[in-house]
Amino acid sequence: MPAAKTQKTNASVEAFLKTTGDRYADCKTLSRIMAKASGAKAAMWGDAIVGFGAHPIVYADGHSEDWPVAAFSPRKQTLTLYGLRASPNFAKHLKKLGPHKVAGGCLHVKRLADVDQSVLTTLVTEAVQARKKNITRAR
């Protein structure tokens, strides 16, 4: 089985964030939120994902790959946040978050100024705690 396309790299997170232009402040804020929630330093995953910590995910064929416990990517149209569905209160928080979209396993917001950052912080924290609890239980 080939390795997953998106893997942790040694690339500089700060160098990547400096390329995000007017999204830089939002990216720094997301980095602080996710680092505090995960207790992990930021790392690049592939070319455009900033991830925190790692946990194994198991694919349908049974093989597993590491994936960040929490992550984000400053895409062209939105800030894409990964791993938040792990929160047991995901749907409840979304009702209070502000303008957003959910597609697949990702939460998309245009700008952090558009959403309630305290709700977002709670959502990230709960998702990380739930994921860590499941990682610990699986070992």
Domains in the chain, ordered, with CATH? Answer: 13-138 (3.90.1150)
Instruction: Give pLDDT tens digits for 83-125.
Output: 999 999 999 999 999 999 999 889 999 999 999 999 999 999 9
The three-state (H, E, C) secondary structure of the chain, written as one string: CCCCCCCECCCCHHHHHCCCHHHHHHHHHHHHHHHHHHCCCEEEECCCEEEECCEEEECCCCCEEEECCEEEEECCCCEEEECHHHCCCHHHHHHHHCCCEEECCEEEECCHHHCCHHHHHHHHHHHHHHHHHHHHHHC
Looking up tokens 């690049």 gives: 44
pTM over 0.85: yes
Tell me what percent of the residues of the chain surpass a pLDDT of 70.
93
Max intra-chain CA distance, the chain: 42
Helix axes 117-138, 24-38, angle to 10 degrees: 40
For residue 12, give both structure tokens: 């500089």
Strand partners, 65: 57
**Mean pLDDT of all residues in 54-65:** 82
pLDDT score at 139: 37
Q: Tell me whether strands 49-52 and 106-109 are parallel, antiparallel or unpaired.
A: unpaired
